[in-house]
Chains A and B, each alone.
Chain A
Amino acid sequence: MSTLLLADHDGHQLKKATLQAITAAQAFNTPVDVLVLGSDTAAVAAQAASIAGVARVIAVSAPHLAHLLPEDAAAIILGQLNAGYTTVIAAHTTLGKDTLPRVAALRDVGMASDVIRIHARGQYERPIYAGNAIATIHSDEAMQVLTIRATSYAAAAAGNSAEIISRSAPAAQAGSQWLADDHKISDRPELATAPVVVSGGRCLGERFDEVLAPLAARLGAALGATRAAVDAGLAPNEIQVGQTGTIVAPELYIAAGISGAAQHLGGMKDSKVIVAINTDPDAPIFKVADIGIVADLFDVVPELTRQLG
């Protein structure tokens, strides 16, 4: 019995979410093999082999895996699964949530998505209704397939020298083809893993960046936004925080002019310290805030930036 963990990486290093999934995978008390797929997996495989709790690294390099598509990733996983694996796990990132349902369907087993707690093999907690309820589910499947909500787990640390095994890739599938990625280049830390997030709502209007960016710069924070702010064109979609956007759990989350719709709260309420700045004392954001201030964000945010020096 062992666990196969699909690594998510950028070609150079593992995403933090994968390190967090490695921690989650230890709950099964079986060896964890990390599967690294890419066009050149040497650096990422070496990093994976250095992570505590990793039994073996299986590296599959092929030119067509440079921009990994779920059809190819799932085919490779299925090809590995005859080797005593009883669990397939990944972080609930784009790659994990696109790929693991394919693996589950083709193995004819049910799947658990976005798991926040593993009680035992086959017994998981996961948020439903945008985190407004927590379901505990039970599965007797011989092959357990699950994705992990990364922010529920600490990242696994270095301190290992696991064996790296290279395997060859099956031929590329023909039905879908990668054309382009469009990632916004930013000096700020990545939203999903930033230790501090400064987030704003629609009421910031055209002054979204002007007001929030200096505070984010002072705190070394990522910028976040509500769905309403994104829909109003004030902020790009990739910084949308919420159940259907990016789920964050930073050390400090500053919500400026955010009322606290359930959809938004579902994406940030596991943050360690939440600050709410809003003129409406009845805004739901104050129910989850550790520190609240009922005031105009256009006064508070610049003054806070100034006082932090």
Chain B
Amino acid sequence: MKALVAIKRVLDYSIQVRVKPDQTDVDLAGSKMSINPFDEVAIEEALRLKEAGIVSEIVTVTIGASVAQDVLRHALAMGVDRVTLLETDTAPDSLGVAKLLAALVKDEQPGLILLGKQAIDDDAAQAGAMLSALLGWPQASAASKIVIADGKALVTREIDGGTQTVQLTLPAVISADLRLNDPRFVKLPNLMMAKKKPINTVTANSLGVPFAARQQQVRVSEPAQRPAGVLVKSVAELVAALKAKGALQ
């Protein structure tokens, strides 16, 4: 079975987010960019399924400008078999991503699609469910355990207040939560070798699906700052301060 893993290049999770002074967007200039952490978990899961003999080939795809090659190299260094860049300078929204991936699925015919449950930049958490709907394949979001046997995926997923287990008939779309696994550390020699591997670059426009964002970002602003608090010296002062704020019922 072939697994398709969709990944996104985002501002590295450890980098402090800055809003541009003109409030048009977040300032990414010169900042370290990395693979979305949830997508890295999705890759790791595909690798483990391959090591278990369930997945035979792993294809990783990302959508973006040519700079997005770096996250595909990271995927190659982790051990995926092939990578595809759907190249575009126009950032699609989640619906556009889902449409492009659905078009790619027609060519690749994977038995399983893995991706992160959300990207840590726009936090939309839409692409997996949208892709599942467009393909008419079953979905499981926020997976923390995946067991595949007999053409079915038994997925434990994180839901409000607990976990849920569902059984999906493959092919299916599964989005990864952080607790699914701990992605392997990429060794330097693997990273060097990954630089020599080919990247299949396809112009996103050539897939013949409209993917331009349907929503405009009007403004990006800093979140409202909370007023400065007080430091207290003792528990007695803490209790008094809580009472003064009416926080104790």
Interface contact A128-B159, CB-CB below 8 Å: no
- The complex places the Cα of A138 from the Cα of B137 at a distance, in Å, of 30
CB of B153 to closest CB in A, whole Å: 9
Chain A residue nearest to B164 in the complex (CB): A181
Q: Which residues of chain A have C-beta atoms less than 8 A from B217's C-beta?
A: 135-138
Which chain B residues in 108-165 approach chain A with CB under 8 Å? 117-118, 120-134, 136-142, 144, 154, 158-165
Interface contact A130-B123, CB-CB below 8 Å: yes
Chain A residue nearest to B99 in the complex (CB): A105
**Out of A103, A110, A244, which one reaches B215, CB within 8 Å?**
A110
CB of A295 to closest CB in B, whole Å: 8
**Total A-B pairs in contact (CB under 8 Å)?**
244
- The complex places the Cα of A95 from the Cα of B32 at a distance, in Å, of 34
**Out of A101, A129, A288, which one reaches B11, CB within 8 Å?**
A129
Q: Which residues of chain B have C-beta atoms less than 8 A from A179's C-beta?
A: 154, 165-167
Known: A128-B121, A182-B164. A300 touches B235 (CB 8 A): yes
Count of interface residues, chain B, beta-carbon cutoff 8 Å: 82
Q: Which residues of chain A have C-beta atoms less than 8 A from B126's C-beta?
A: 97, 101, 104, 111, 113
Query: When each residue 223-237 of chain A gets 1 if its CB lies under 8 Å from chain B and 0 otherwise, what string results?
Result: 000010001000001
CB of A48 to closest CB in B, whole Å: 19
Known: A105-B130, A111-B126, A251-B247. A132 touches B118 (CB 8 A): no
Q: Which residues of chain B have C-beta atoms less than 8 A from A109's C-beta?
A: 95, 214
Which chain A residues in 163-207 approach chain B with CB under 8 Å? 173-184, 190-192, 195
Q: Which residues of chain A have C-beta atoms less than 8 A from B196's C-beta?
A: none
Q: Does B205 contact A (CB under 8 A)?
A: no
**Out of B120, B129, B154, which one reaches A101, CB within 8 Å?**
B129
**Out of B166, B221, B236, which one reaches A69, CB within 8 Å?**
B166
Interface contact B178-A98, CB-CB below 8 Å: no
Q: Which residues of chain A have C-beta atoms less than 8 A from B216's C-beta?
A: 137-139
Interface contact B137-A175, CB-CB below 8 Å: yes
- The complex places the Cα of A219 from the Cα of B167 at a distance, in Å, of 40
Q: Does A258 contact B (CB under 8 A)?
A: no
Chain A residue nearest to B27 in the complex (CB): A133
Chain A residues touching B, majority SS: mixed
Interface contact B218-A123, CB-CB below 8 Å: yes
Q: Does B26 contact A (CB under 8 A)?
A: yes
Chain A residue nearest to B126 in the complex (CB): A101
Interface contact A138-B229, CB-CB below 8 Å: no
Q: Does A259 contact B (CB under 8 A)?
A: no
Interface contact B17-A133, CB-CB below 8 Å: yes
CB of A230 to closest CB in B, whole Å: 8
- The complex places the Cα of A111 from the Cα of B130 at a distance, in Å, of 10
Q: Does B47 contact A (CB under 8 A)?
A: no
Interface contact A110-B95, CB-CB below 8 Å: yes
Interface contact B222-A304, CB-CB below 8 Å: no
Interface contact B242-A291, CB-CB below 8 Å: yes
Stretch from A31-39, A56-64, A268-276 that touches the partner: A268-276
Query: When each residue 229-249 of chain B gets 1 if its CB lies under 8 Å from chain A and 0 otherwise, what string results?
Result: 111111111110110010111
**Out of B129, B218, B242, which one reaches A275, CB within 8 Å?**
B242
Known: A127-B123, A238-B162, A307-B236. A134 touches B222 (CB 8 A): yes
- The complex places the Cα of A138 from the Cα of B235 at a distance, in Å, of 48
Interface contact B129-A70, CB-CB below 8 Å: yes
Known: A102-B130, A105-B98, A176-B139. A131 touches B164 (CB 8 A): no
Interface contact B229-A110, CB-CB below 8 Å: no
Interface contact A237-B158, CB-CB below 8 Å: yes
CB of B137 to closest CB in A, whole Å: 7
Interface contact B230-A292, CB-CB below 8 Å: yes
Q: Which residues of chain A have C-beta atoms less than 8 A from B227's C-beta?
A: 290
- The complex places the Cα of A70 from the Cα of B138 at a distance, in Å, of 9
Interface contact A135-B220, CB-CB below 8 Å: yes
CB of A29 to closest CB in B, whole Å: 21
Chain A interface residues (CB < 8 Å from chain B): 67, 69-71, 74, 93-94, 97-99, 101-106, 108-114, 123, 127-139, 141, 173-184, 190-192, 195, 219-220, 227, 231, 237-238, 243-244, 246, 251-252, 262-263, 269, 272-276, 286-294, 300, 303-304, 307-308
For the complex of A and B, 7 pairs with smallest distance between CB atoms: A110-B214, A175-B138, A176-B138, A101-B129, A102-B133, A105-B130, A132-B17
